Amino acid sequence: MSDDIKKGLAGVIVDETAISKVNPETNSLLYRGYPVQQLAAQCTFEEVAYLLWHGELPTDDQLAEFEDHERANRHLDRVVKDAIDALPLTAHPMDVVRTAISVLGALDETLSSDRTWIDRDFTLQRSMRMLAKLPAIVAYAQRRRRRDGNPVEPRDDLGYSANFLHMVFGEVPEKVVVDAFDTSMTLYAEHSFNASTFTARVITSTLSDVYSAVTGAIGALKGPLHGGANEAVMHVLAEIGSADRAEAWLDQALAEKRKIMGFGHRVYKNGDSRVPTMRASLETLVAHYDRADMIELYEALEQAMDARKGIKPNLDYPSGPAYHLMGFDTEVFTPLFVAARITGWTAHVMEQLSANALIRPLSVYNGPDERRVPGA
Ligand SMILES: CC(=O)SCCNC(=O)CCNC(=O)[C@H](O)C(C)(C)COP(=O)(O)OP(=O)(O)OC[C@H]1O[C@@H](n2cnc3c(N)ncnc32)[C@H](O)[C@@H]1OP(=O)(O)O
Ligand SMILES: O=C([O-])CC(=O)C(=O)O
């Protein structure tokens, strides 16, 4: 293979961004300059969303306005519900979410009437619309699969995370659970030029619209090498079953050349900056639900992986069991990632639009030499 080829674009710098900084040397992650751990501890997900979109944390008045706007946009249009209802119950929730976002785009009259969709204000407004409606979409997807009866209406007296859990489970859990969920949303919100965000930027670079960018990003996130890993982690933990089986299971899996879900990262090679914070939330949930067996299994696989391969967990490793303990179906873990990452994706869409260049790399042709079509 030619030395010019950077397979998987590994190590290639393709643009600048002011949205987040991933620093593998210091295992740190900054959103607009703020350490993500501090944001998770001090701010709500709504404040983090505002920060990612506007570049600064909101004042009290700005936050109040933002929250009002988010709460006013939570309801799901009948057409979106009908579109979801037309899908088989076997459809994966990621496919449901991708379809729902696509339908929201098709319902947006501006897209059919003029080209103002490449405008920042248009994009910001639609980003808020998607952010506010995603909890209803995810809740609808899980409740429908469970045949849990009617959708639960949003409550505008609740913040984003409490309302999200209320819509999925029909009740607001204890504060420790809401806080752990809110932390996961903040940690998942943004991570520079990861595969799904890059997908969104590629789509935007053609001057397509924000719904198309998000629909494509959802498709990229679904794969188990990216966001789909949080779902896959739970399948792995279920397959292992208990801590005492972790080492033997891992040896067998590695002998079969399986990739161990929730471990490894393209950028971090010494551990993911977000894992300690999410792990602390997982431990809180383990104590709350009295599930010491879960953290024992978690640690057993983590230690075995470190001993065998020296590969550390990524964010999907603690978030998978955390979502499980909260009561989510395994198949909606990646849709939860979508609900958080809508903030980062759309911030990148706006940044791409502000200094756009069509993204179109080159390739080295390695097919047959020129030849003649029979009869030509
Ligand atoms: C929030 C997120 O999206 S984080 C990522 C979530 N994805 C996962 O958890 C899936 C499992 N992990 C992986 O597949 C990889 O670590 C990736 C895709 C995340 C990163 O991959 P890359 O940067 O391309 O690393 P690459 O695949 O080249 O791995 C380097 C070496 O480590 C090994 N390795 C990396 N991750 C793993 C893993 N999870 N299990 C087993 N071996 C692994 C590779 O087999 C390779 O070994 P080799 O040199 O002997 O061939
Ligand atoms: O950065 C990446 O490649 C994947 C990741 O951790 C994320 O998107 O959160």
Instruction: Identify any residues that bridge with 286 across adjacent strands, giving them in sequence order.
Output: none
From the CA of 267, give the closest atom in ligand 1. Answer: 23
Q: How far is the CA of 259 from the centre of ligand 1 (A)?
A: 7
**Closest by Cα among 104, 164, 197, 173 to 339:** 164
Domain containing residue 349: CATH number: 1.10.580.10
Give residue 320's pLDDT.
Answer: 98
316 carries an active-site annotation? yes
Domain limits at 303?
A: 227-326
Q: Is 226 in the pocket of ligand 1 (CB under 6 A)?
A: yes
59 CB-near residues (< 8 Å, 6+ apart): none
pLDDT (tens digit, 9 = 90+) per residue, 174-190?
Answer: 999 999 999 999 999 99
Q: How far is the CA of 184 from the centre of ligand 2 (A)?
A: 14
Strands (E), the chain: 20-23, 28-31, 34-35
Instruction: List ligand 2's pocket residues with C-beta within 6 A.
Output: 191, 194, 265-267, 314-315
2 located within any domain: no
Banded model confidence at residue 366, pLDDT cuts 50, 70, 90? very high
> Are 255 and 292 in a shared domain?
yes
Q: How many domains does the chain have?
A: 2
> Are 191 and 249 in a shared domain?
no
Give residue 113's pLDDT.
Answer: 67
User: DSSP readout, 232-262?
Assistant: HHHHHHHHH-SGGGHHHHHHHHHHTT---TT
Give residue 2's pLDDT.
Answer: 81
> Are 66 and 51 in a shared domain?
yes
pLDDT (tens digit, 9 = 90+) per residue, 201-223?
Answer: 999 999 999 999 999 999 999 99
134 located within any domain: yes
Is the pLDDT at 115 greater than 70? The verdict is no
Q: Is the complex ipTM more than 0.90?
A: yes
CA angle 234, 236, 238 (to 5 degrees): 70
265 carries an active-site annotation? yes
> Are 175 and 87 in a shared domain?
yes
> Are 203 and 315 in a shared domain?
no
> Are 264 and 231 in a shared domain?
yes
Give residue 111's pLDDT.
Answer: 75
Least confident of 18-27, 116-125, 284-293, 328-337: 116-125
Give residue 269's pLDDT.
Answer: 86
Of the residues 265, 272, 324, 329, only one is catalytic, namely: 265
Query: Region 128-141: what's the mean pLDDT?
Result: 97
Q: How far is the CA of 254 from the centre of ligand 1 (A)?
A: 12
> Are 255 and 198 in a shared domain?
no
pTM surpassing 0.90? yes
